[in-house]
């Protein structure tokens, strides 16, 4: 049985099962293997063991000639039959290497930032939001369930210095195979791009921390400090966040009438209809009797065998049902259609231009460097879009939480993105991006946020 982290918790459930099949020699893995996640796990293990077997840039989830040659080289070095096929001997040998006492277990740290209130001295107003701290706490809960050592920054503590300090400390202490998970919920904005990197819309995206905006170039420079082989997971629940790690705001749409009406009608039906019973062959009268309680005053006699006196079913009137359904529809509307998490960054930039100019000078050309780490960024909206807050959670974090299903989701990053996308509104389109070394795109075949 496989126990190494890279063969169990990082791959999806299906890929882990596929690796177990190969380890049992029930179905060895070879050329043209369909399960890309299982191939990524094998390629990653070989690349981490020896770049001579396979370079990180060659990790692509495709079992072709290059992967076959890497497996053959590994087999020769460890005295195995060199046939280029991954079966019991290969996987048990890799298991012994990566799950043995000499192997350092992976370490993960996470930071969860929620900014409901910003410094009015910098931004000119409190700019209050209702759900961002709740978002940070929900994402921290997910990180804890995955085994991360977590930290959380809220409002006054969510400063650029504290965020940068966390990232720099993580960059110093994490090594290949480790992971860092960072989430942000708060206002997002844009400012004119004045640096040498290319932005198709001519704007830099920003995260509005408590004391000032964190510009995407600045964040990218911090991420460039991470070592090769470190996996970085980013989640941005903010407006204009498609490229927040590296147009004009639109007003959020009202909840679609059809969706609101369906929710309202469902409540009315639950309050006024007779619930289904187990026996489908009962008549309507018998079905009502089956769910009608015994009158309290007749309970003692019924226990002694007397014919019970039933208490009439008391259902709410149509008017009460309609009023209640309207209330729940309003709650749904309020919870999923809060105001946009967007502010005009240009005015903050102009008000504090010397500060932001000094930040850009300090960043220099580092935003043009290629990342050594492997980065996946999951964001709430495209660069030209806004995303709503909510109550108690913002819409994007709510959709993540519902899709995650307390760890019940067992698919890949790519599948997770598609599932969240189905729950999303057309004016706030979640984005999934991968960048960096060690086959960044192939990481999208792995479990989201995995440690």
b/e string for 67-81 if b means 16 or more Cβ within 10 A? bbebbbbbbeeeebe
Cα separation of 233 and 371, whole Å? 13
Identify whether the C-beta of residue 222 lies closer than 8 Å to the C-beta of residue 164.
yes
Q: What pLDDT is stored for residue 51 in this prediction? A: 84
Q: What pLDDT is stored for residue 370 in this prediction? A: 82
Q: What pLDDT is stored for residue 319 in this prediction? A: 75
- Using omega within 30 degrees of 0 as the cis cutoff, is the peptide bond preceding 216 cis? no
Range(s) of the chain covered by CATH 1.10.101.10: 5-99
Identify whether the C-beta of residue 111 lies closer than 8 Å to the C-beta of residue 105.
no
Q: What pLDDT is stored for residue 164 in this prediction? A: 96
CATH fold for the domain made of 112-247+338-437: Rossmann fold (3.40.50)
* pLDDT tens across the length of the chain (451 residues): 899 999 999 999 999 999 999 999 999 999 999 999 999 999 999 999 888 899 888 999 999 999 999 999 999 999 999 999 999 999 999 999 998 766 788 999 999 999 999 999 999 888 899 999 999 999 999 999 999 999 999 999 999 999 999 999 999 999 999 999 999 999 988 776 655 445 455 567 889 999 999 988 889 999 999 999 999 999 999 886 665 544 223 333 333 454 556 556 766 666 666 554 444 555 656 655 665 666 777 767 766 667 766 665 556 677 777 777 676 666 555 444 556 666 666 677 777 877 777 776 676 665 567 889 999 999 998 877 878 888 899 999 999 999 999 999 999 999 999 999 999 988 889 999 999 887 889 999 999 999 9
Q: What pLDDT is stored for residue 138 in this prediction? A: 97
| Paired tokens of 451 | 């440690």
Identify whether the C-beta of residue 88 lies closer than 8 Å to the C-beta of residue 130.
no
Q: What pLDDT is stored for residue 248 in this prediction? A: 26
Q: What is the pTM of this model?
A: 0.77
Identify whether the C-beta of residue 383 lies closer than 8 Å to the C-beta of residue 239.
no
Range(s) of the chain covered by CATH 3.40.50.1460: 112-247+338-437
| Paired tokens of 375 | 């980065």
Three state DSSP letters for 380-439: CCCCCCCCECCCCCCHHHHHHHHHHHHHCCCCCHHHHHHHHHHHCCCCCCCEEEEEECCC
DSSP symbol at 81: -
Q: pLDDT tens across 215-239, in order?
A: 888 899 999 999 999 999 999 998 8
Instruction: Give me the architecture of the 5-99 domain, per CATH.
Output: Orthogonal Bundle (1.10)
């Amino acid at each position: 049985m496989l126990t190494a982290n890279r063969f169990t918790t990082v791959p999806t459930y299906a890929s882990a099962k596929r690796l177990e099949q190969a380890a049992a020699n029930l179905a060895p893995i070879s050329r043209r293997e369909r399960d890309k996640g299982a191939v990524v796990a094998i390629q990653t293990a070989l690349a981490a063991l020896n770049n001579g077997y396979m370079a990180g840039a060659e990790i692509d989830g495709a079992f072709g000639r290059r992967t076959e040659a890497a497996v053959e080289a590994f087999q020769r070095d460890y005295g195995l039959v060199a046939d280029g096929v991954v079966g019991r001997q290969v996987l048990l040998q890799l298991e012994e290497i990566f799950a043995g006492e000499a192997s350092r277990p992976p370490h993960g740290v996470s930071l969860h930032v929620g900014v409901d209130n910003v410094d009015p001295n910098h931004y000119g107003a409190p700019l209050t939001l209702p759900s961002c701290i709740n978002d940070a706490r929900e994402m921290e809960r997910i990180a804890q369930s995955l085994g991360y050592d977590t930290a959380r920054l809220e409002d006054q503590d969510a400063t650029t210095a504290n965020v940068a300090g966390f990232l720099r400390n993580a960059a110093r202490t994490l090594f290949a195979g480790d992971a860092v998970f960072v989430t942000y919920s708060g206002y997002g904005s844009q400012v004119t791009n004045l640096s040498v990197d290319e932005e198709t819309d001519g704007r830099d995206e920003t995260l509005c921390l408590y004391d000032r905006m964190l510009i995407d170039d600045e964040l990218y420079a911090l991420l460039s400090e991470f070592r090769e082989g470190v996996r970085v997971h980013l989640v941005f629940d903010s407006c204009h966040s498609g490229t927040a790690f590296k147009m004009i705001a639109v007003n959020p749409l009202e909840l679609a009438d059809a969706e609101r009406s369906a929710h309202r009608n469902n409540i009315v039906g639950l309050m006024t209809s007779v619930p289904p019973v187990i026996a489908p062959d009962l008549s309507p009268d018998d079905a009502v009797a089956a769910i009608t309680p015994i009158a309290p005053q007749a309970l003692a006699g019924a226990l002694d065998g007397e014919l019970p006196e039933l208490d009439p079913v008391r259902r709410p009137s149509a008017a009460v049902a309609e009023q209640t359904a309207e209330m729940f529809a309003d709650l749904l509307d309020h919870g999923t259609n809060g105001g946009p998490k967007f502010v005009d960054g240009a005015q903050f930039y102009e008000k504090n231009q010397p500060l932001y100019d000094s930040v850009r000078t300090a960043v220099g050309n580092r935003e043009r460097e290629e990342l050594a780490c492997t980065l996946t960024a999951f964001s709430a909206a495209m660069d030209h879009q806004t995303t709503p807050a909510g109550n108690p959670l913002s819409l994007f974090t709510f959709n993540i939480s519902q899709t995650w299903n307390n760890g019940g989701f067992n698919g890949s990053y790519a599948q997770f993105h598609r599932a969240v996308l189905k729950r999303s509104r057309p004016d706030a389109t979640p984005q999934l991006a991968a960048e960096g070394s060690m086959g960044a795109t192939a990481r999208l075949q792995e479990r989201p946020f995995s440690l």
